[in-house]
Structure 1
Amino acid sequence: MSDIPGFSMPIQVVEAGGITAWLAEDHSVPVVSVSWGWDGGAALDPAGAEGTASMAASLLTEGAGTLDALAFADAARDEAVGLSFSVDRDGFDGGFRALLPALPKAIELARLAMTAPRFDEEAVRRIRARAIAGARQSLEGPRGRASRAFWAAAFPNHPAGRPANGTAESLATVTVDGMREILARQIHRGGLLVGISGAITAQQVASMLPELFGTLPQGTPPTLPKLPDFTAFGTQVVPVAASQSTVLFGQQGLPVTDPEWETAQVVLRIFSGGGFSSRLMKSIREERGLTYGIYAGLDSMFGGGVLVGSAATANAKTAEALSVLRAEWKRMADGGPTQEEMDEAISFLTGSQPLQFTDSRRISSTLLAMRRNNRPLDWLERRPERLRAIGRDKAAAAARRLLVPDTLAMTIAGQPEGL
């Protein structure tokens, strides 16, 4: 980037066979990373079979074509190819990283995984057992139960309100036919976004794109429902026998397309995202010892945004911690940040930006995210300039708009006293 000495990331746009990729070319290390994705993911799961897309993604690397799970894993390991697929609430992603000599094998394995997954009985049984164990671990503890209740209350009639990876009960109902149906709706040449980074030229990318994606079926994934307004459900308690309470809190946020999104990031760095320097950490942990940590930030999904945060505190201190949280929420909304806080936050955000791009995989993922968010090619290059242009008055106005104390919703899982 022009105003950070020694750091730049020029982006090239490469099109071939009807597929477009953004490329950050860098030959300093003989490694290539490719990230791609579509809208969809867990949003395509049938009601009652949540986790179908997540299980399907996990099984794509458990055998494809003539290669069973062991042979597929051996082929990837022998060439040091890292290939994976994943889902979140509204997206389905794939990606690989490979040394330059292994690029043909990485392309072959990725193509096979997307076009000829096997779903062998043993692999399905193993992945299902792992997914169920993971769901129990993540959803049945205090934090998991708080999360389930929070999102279900915030978006009761929308896919955003469901666990993206399913529950132990729903995963038990997932079928091979159901997974194949999800993939048939999800994986197409249309709607595909691609980001590439590393030791590869634009000409080589133009040759690679049809080889990697050219055999995917025509069409596009289904259109996803837009995120509705956040339901301000007040305060709910989920009884859990535990020595401390886990709290999830949040309200309506901003989408990444909002003109004030970047200003909101500065405000939240100061208020809730700056580690020990944030207002919430200073007030709730350092000054009162009510929690080990507290954080809040913007979560983007389905074209919208949610401001969501979490903390854990002793049951006896939960009411006091939440009272302080509400007071700090109102104080920032009423007065905004100080100029000193602004200077520190902007200095950190601009100075730390190059650290986000320390390897090709992170860069290709960033390019994919930029495309999903409809960012221009020079978005990263001009970000320090935009951040420095944010004045205190603008940040205070963004804080008033973003932080609305009367709509702050909270879910507490535990045995909180006084609530």
Structure 2
Amino acid sequence: MIRALIVAATLVVAGPALAAVEIQEVESPGGITAWLVEEPSIPFVALELRFQGGAALDPEGKRGVTNLMMGLLEEGAGELDARAFAAARESLAASFEFDAYDDSVSISARFLTENRDEAVALLREALIAPRFDADAIERVRAQVLSIIRSDAQDPNAIAAQTFDGLVFGDHPYGASRDGTLDSVAALTRDDIVAAHETVLNRANIFVGAAGDITPEELAQLLDALLGDLPQGAPLEVTDAPYLLEGGKTIVPFDTPQSVAFFGHRGIKRDAPDFFAAFIANEIFGGRGLQSRLSTEVREKRGLTYGIGTFLAELDGAPLLLGQSATENARMGEAIDVIKAEWARVAAEGFTEEEVAEAKTYLTGAYPLRFDGNGPIAGILVGMQMEGLPIDYIETRNDKVNAVTVADVNRVAAGLYDPEALHFVVVGRPEGIEPSN
């Protein structure tokens, strides 16, 4: 889950007004909508497709099927087997990436203007007519199983997955989107075909494009690429369960350094106080070595090389999460300091200087996010999925600057709850008693 959450969090940083970025809303003759930033100076187009739903749509007992299905989309389509498909893509100097997340699947395409029609036709085959050949299924299945085995030996992955399981139980969020060794081994071709039909549909698609393409050309491209997908039904998002109380869970693992993953409930992205919470987190644990947690845990006490927190929201579950690592003998001390700082933030809040510095950083960081057609197309899709208005880039800084110190401290008092804070520790920590 962590990877997806971190990616989602970066969108919020990508916000101040960019005079050169003009977003156009494009609707195809077939009714497909996309957001476009036209940039004709380089003969290159970046296209981002996101389908809402993702691995959270995995049927019971079929965890990992969406992830496996997405990994197979470039393993042959139409009349082309995996080798021929790869050769065709390389001959066009095009790149396609297919990824699965908890709440979405993504397709990233990059192609030259001169090869646009051929690249789009090839990508269409992957989306509409994937082959799911038996040899390809077994090859990609083996790759996924290797990742699952590797994660089972990675303390960071173990900590995050244990936390997810404790929070969400039997909900799909409670298990890795890669699936388990047993669930992936049992998946059939019919399961993969069913996942393809469920996930890839027009009702839940979001499109961002940037580069050398006009609105009229993009409109035609959308229907050519996506027009034959099933219409589907809009996804109904419901809140996921939150089953975890404050405390500590220990997962024994032979390593000289324990990993701690910790957190509790967060705040929804569309909440009126979201920006105040976002600024609070930036001060508390979001800015690397400059954060309060880093100062207290790393600099003053030398308990860790790094510590951080982030606001994260799966479609049905806002969370406030953090992660750190320290030697086994000092993990208990590190937890005590983290809990004490959590309580101090709730009781005392932040200073005017801290809030001002965080706002300056947040409103000045945007140029790093708009550094090419690919990132821009991704930002456009993220904005749509978050339900943000098309003028968000122009107004985002105003929203950050409108937050007062009083706002930040009021929200921090309600958001940071040391009694609800739960730590999952993977390692051989000394002097820590589990509470579960």
Common fold: TM-score over 0.5:
yes
Equivalent of residue 305 in structure 2, options 292, 308, 325: 292
- C-alpha distance in 1, partners of 2:16/2:261? 39
**Counterpart in the other structure of 2:6:** none
Whole-angstrom CA distance in 2 between matches of 1:136 and 1:361? 32
Structure 2's unaligned 5+ residue stretches are 1-13
Deviates most, 367-376 or 302-311:
302-311
Q: Which runs of 5+ in 1 are unaligned?
A: none
1:191 to 185, 193, 204: 204
> Could you tell me which amino acid in structure 1 is paired with residue 85 of structure 2?
F
Q: Give the structure 1 partner of residue 284 of structure 2.
A: 271
Moved more, 89-98 or 213-222: 213-222
Q: CA deviation at 1:408?
A: 0.6
C-alpha distance after superposition, 1:198-222 (max 9, x if no partner)? 1111111111111111111122365
Deviates more, 1:315-324 or 1:170-179: 170-179
One-letter code aligned to 2:87: D
Alignment partner of 1:175 out of 176, 183, 188: 188
Amino acid at match of 1:317: R
Q: Which amino acid aligns with 2:236?
A: T
Residues 43 and 159 in structure 1, CA contact (< 8 A), matched pair in contact too:
yes
1:279-321 deviations in Å (ceiling 9; x for gaps): 1111101111111111110111124311111111110000000
- Which stretch shifts more, 286-295 or 28-37? 28-37
Deviation of residue 152 (structure 1)?
A: 0.5
When the two chains are superposed, the root-mean-square deviation of aligned CA atoms in Å is: 1.7
Q: Secondary structure at 1:242's aligned position in 2?
A: coil
Q: Which amino acid aligns with 2:127?
A: M
Counterpart Cα distance in 2 of 1:3 and 1:216:
35
Q: Aligned partners of 2:401 and 2:238: how far apart in 1?
A: 36
Structure 2 match to 1:413: 426
**Are the aligned partners of 1:41 and 1:89 in contact in 2 as well (CA < 8 Å)?**
yes
Amino acid at match of 1:83: F
CA distance in 2, matches of 1:47, 1:328: 40
- Cα shift readout 1:171-195 (whole Å, capped 9, x = no counterpart): 2112111011111111112121111
Residue-by-residue CA offset, 1:215-250 (whole Å, 9 max, x unaligned): 111223653442234622521111111111111001
Quote the residue 2:3 is aligned against.
none
Deviation at residue 156 of structure 1 after TM alignment = 1.0
Partners of 1:363 and 1:50 lie apart in 2 by 32
1:29 — aligned with what? 42
Partners in 2 of 1:386 and 1:360 — Cα distance? 26
**More displaced 10-residue stretch of structure 1: 110-119 or 162-171:** 162-171
Alpha-carbon distance between aligned partners in 2 of 1:160 and 1:128, rounded to the nearest angstrom: 21
> Quick one: which of 80, 85, 88 aligns to 1:72?
85
Corresponding residue number in structure 2 for 1:355? 368
Q: Conserved in 2, the CA contact under 8 Å of 1:238 and 1:411? A: yes
TM-score, normalised by the number of residues in structure 2? 0.92
Q: Is the 8 A contact 1:350 1:387 kept in 2?
A: yes
More divergent stretch after superposition (173-182 vs 320-329)? 173-182
Matches within 5 A, 1:207-356: 207-220=220-233, 223-229=236-242, 231-356=244-369
Question: Does the CA-based 8 Å contact 1:79-1:105 persist in structure 2?
Answer: yes
Residues 35-78 of structure 1: per-residue CA shift (max 9 Å, x gap): 11222211122333311100100100110001111111111111
Provide the identity percentage. 37
Give yes or no for contact 1:249–1:409 (8 Å, CA) kept in 2.
Answer: yes
Kept after mapping to 2: 8 A contact 1:295/1:310: yes
> Does residue 131 of structure 2 align to residue 124 of structure 1?
no
State the TM-score, normalized to the length of structure 1. 0.96
Structure 2 vs 1, CA of residues 2 and 189 (structure 1 numbering), >3 Å: closer, same or farther?
closer
Residue 200 (structure 1) aligns with: 213
Q: Using the alignment, how far apart are the partners of 1:52 and 1:260 within structure 2? A: 37
Residue deviations 1:53-109 (CA, integer Å, cap 9, x gap)? 001001001100011111111111111211121111111221201111121122112
Q: CA deviation at 1:346?
A: 1.0
Q: Is the 8 A contact 2:15 2:396 kept in 1?
A: no
Which one of the candidate residues 101, 124, 136 is aligned to 2:114?
A: 101
Aligned length: 418
Deviation at 1:125, TM superposition (A): 1.5
User: Cα deviations across residues 138-177 of structure 1 (Å, max 9, x unaligned)?
Assistant: 2332222212211110111322111111122322112111
Q: Residue 13 of structure 1 corresponds to which residue in structure 2? A: 25
CA contact (8 A) 2:16 2:393 kept: no
Please report how far the alpha carbon of residue 264 of structure 1 lies from its aligned counterpart in structure 2 after TM superposition.
1.3
Once the two structures are TM-superposed, the CA of residue 133 in structure 1 deviates from its matched residue by: 0.8
| Whole-angstrom distance in 1 between the partners of 2:16 and 2:354 | 22
CA distance in 1, matches of 2:312, 2:41: 34
Q: 1:371-402: per-residue Cα shift (whole Å, max 9, x none)? A: 11110111111111111111111111121122
Greater mean alpha carbon deviation, residues 243-252 or residues 105-114: 105-114
Q: What amino acid is the match of 2:351?
A: T
Which SS does the other structure have where 1:190 is aligned?
helix
Task: Identify the structure with bigger relative contact order (alpha carbons < 8 Å, sequence gap 6+).
Answer: 2
Residues of 1 paired with 2:322 and 2:16: CA distance?
Answer: 33
Residue in 2 aligned with 1:380?
393
